[in-house]
């Protein structure tokens, strides 16, 4: 994935979360969907823009921490 493709994908994911927020869908499912899109965006930013794709061990470490954080946020969203 080139930087331009990553940028276009980030724009598409941002539009997706904006559409979800404006659609009027409320509750845990909307929050989970928006958090999932944010998780994907964070992974793209870490790997493509910060260059962690060239450092696999750092990439795995950041992915683990981000994954634990996002799972915690998703658990809170589902419980609320």
Mean pLDDT of 42-63: 93
With bands split at pLDDT 50, 70 and 90, how would you rate the model's confidence at 46?
very high
The 8 Å CB, 24+ separation contacts for 1-9 are: 1/48, 3/48, 3/49, 6/44, 6/48, 6/49, 9/44
With bands split at pLDDT 50, 70 and 90, how would you rate the model's confidence at 26?
confident
Mean pLDDT of all residues belonging to the chain: 92
CB atoms within 10 A of CB 77: 17
67 has pLDDT over 90? yes
- Please state the domain count of the chain: 1
Rounded CA separation 59/54 (Å): 8
Domain that holds residue 45: 3-79
80 has pLDDT over 80? no
């Amino acid at each position: 994935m080139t930087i331009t493709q990553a940028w276009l994908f980030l724009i598409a994911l941002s539009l997706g979360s904006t559409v979800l927020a404006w659609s009027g869908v409320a509750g845990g499912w909307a929050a989970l969907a928006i958090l999932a899109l944010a998780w994907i965006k964070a992974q793209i930013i870490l790997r493509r823009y910060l260059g962690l794709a060239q450092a696999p061990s750092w990439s795995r470490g950041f992915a683990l921490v981000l994954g634990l954080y996002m799972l915690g946020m998703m658990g809170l969203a589902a419980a609320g």
